[in-house]
């Protein structure tokens, strides 16, 4: 029977630490960390994420601004808003909720955000800093996974870590962070041969492919730590991860549930990054 890594509880603990640090920061500087969240269009899942992000801001004592723009927003209008927020001293973090509607150039928008306010850490400047291990912001989901491992007392150094998924927002930065923590890292993707065999080498398996209940018992080495980043909707509307929890839980040593595992940590890291940015802005 695996120990369940309770992302909700760990996240709550970290958020209360951030709230205490924020109160101290406000007392010392008279400034309140500020996050601006922009959403374009009416995707219901994105709207839920945006609402949760603003709620988290309230919880830790941040100032927040929300921009809900219509689907018809043009590239020039969105860029003008990003420029305005780049110049706004009240705002330390700018988050553009992805995906953007098809007619908008996502890459150009992400490049437009001042890297000092890029609290999602998607700007190539920040991605480059992560590569060389000299970073200010960490990408929210992979950093959340690292906090879960750390706070659960799981040693990474020298361990075989297998990351399945190579997206720019999860798989690649996740692999980099595990490498920096001295893990021996393998990255798998849709062309990997004998995926189950490679996964069975893992002391720490990170599943991030977006396929419901994909990883069954045959992918797991007994005693492995299994982190499920996946968030998928079953036909009945239920949220489920990439890991078949019922099959894997009896074999693993630690496992994250979905929901209540990695999910809550992503927004918590966003709060952490916004506070870091606010602190840097006073030192600048």
Residues whose CB is less than 8 angstroms from the CB of residue 194 and which lie 6 or more positions away in sequence, other chains included? none
Which among 6, 97, 118, 242 is annotated as catalytic? 97
> Closer to ligand NDP at the Cβ: 81 or 145?
145
Residues whose CB is less than 8 angstroms from the CB of residue 244 and which lie 6 or more positions away in sequence, other chains included? 213, 214, 215, 216, 217
CB of 259 to ligand NDP, least distance (A): 9
* Dihedral sign (CA 241, 246, 251, 257): positive
> Closer to ligand NDP at the Cβ: 81 or 262?
262
Residues whose CB is less than 8 angstroms from the CB of residue 235 and which lie 6 or more positions away in sequence, other chains included? none
Which among 6, 117, 118, 120 is annotated as catalytic? 120
> Closer to ligand NDP at the Cβ: 70 or 99?
99
> Closer to ligand NDP at the Cβ: 46 or 114?
46
CB of 231 to ligand NDP, least distance (A): 4
CA separation for the pair 253, 223 (Å, rounded): 4
- Name the site residues for ligand NDP (rule: CB under 6 A): 141, 164-167, 169-171, 188-192, 195, 208-211, 229-232, 262-263, 266
187 neighbors 172 (Cβ within 8 angstroms) = yes
CB of 29 to ligand NDP, least distance (A): 31
> Closer to ligand NDP at the Cβ: 113 or 198?
198
Measured from the Cβ of residue 247, the count of other Cβ atoms closer than 10 Å reads 16
Measured from the Cβ of residue 218, the count of other Cβ atoms closer than 10 Å reads 13
CB of 184 to ligand NDP, least distance (A): 19
CB of 118 to ligand NDP, least distance (A): 17
Which among 53, 117, 172, 221 is annotated as catalytic? 53
Q: Is 120 a catalytic residue?
A: yes
Half-sphere exposure of 173 (CA within 13 A, CB side): 24
CB of 16 to ligand NDP, least distance (A): 20
Q: Is 97 a catalytic residue?
A: yes
The pairing of beta strand 34-40 with beta strand 93-96: parallel
CA separation for the pair 33, 7 (Å, rounded): 24
E strands, 183-275, are 184-188, 204-207, 225-228, 232-233, 239-240, 254-255
> Closer to ligand NDP at the Cβ: 61 or 230?
230
- 121 sits in the region (left: phi over 0; alpha: psi -120 to 50; else beta) called left
Measured from the Cβ of residue 48, the count of other Cβ atoms closer than 10 Å reads 10
The residues assigned a catalytic role are 53, 97, 120
């Amino acid at each position: 029977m695996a120990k369940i890594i309770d992302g909700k509880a760990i996240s709550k603990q970290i958020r209360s630490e951030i709230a205490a640090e924020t109160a101290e920061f406000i007392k010392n500087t008279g400034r309140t960390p500020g996050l601006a969240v922009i959403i374009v269009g009416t995707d219901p899942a994105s709207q839920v994420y945006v609402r949760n992000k603003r709620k988290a801001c309230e919880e830790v004592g941040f100032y927040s601004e929300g921009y809900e723009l219509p689907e018809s927003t043009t590239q020039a209008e969105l860029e003008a808003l990003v420029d305005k927020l780049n110049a706004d001293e009240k705002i330390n973090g700018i988050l553009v909720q992805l995906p953007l509607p098809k007619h908008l150039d996502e890459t150009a928008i992400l490049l437009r955000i001042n890297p000092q306010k890029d609290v999602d850490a998607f700007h190539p400047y920040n991605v480059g800093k992560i590569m060389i291990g000299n970073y200010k912001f960490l990408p929210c989901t992979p950093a959340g996974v690292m906090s879960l491992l750390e706070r659960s007392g799981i040693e990474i150094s020298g361990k075989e870590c297998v990351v399945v998924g190579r997206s720019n927002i999860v798989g690649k930065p996740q692999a980099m962070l595990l490498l920096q923590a001295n893990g021996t890292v393998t990255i798998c993707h849709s062309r990997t041969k004998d995926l189950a065999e490679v996964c069975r080498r893992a002391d720490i398996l990170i599943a991030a492919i977006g396929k419901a209940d994909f990883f069954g018992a045959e992918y797991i080495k007994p005693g492995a730590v299994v982190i499920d980043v996946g968030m998928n909707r079953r036909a009945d509307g239920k949220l489920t991860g990439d890991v078949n929890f019922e099959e894997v839980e009896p074999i693993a040593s630690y496992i994250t549930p979905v929901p209540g595992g990695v999910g809550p940590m992503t927004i918590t890291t966003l709060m952490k990054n916004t506070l870091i940015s606010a602190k840097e802005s006073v030192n600048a």
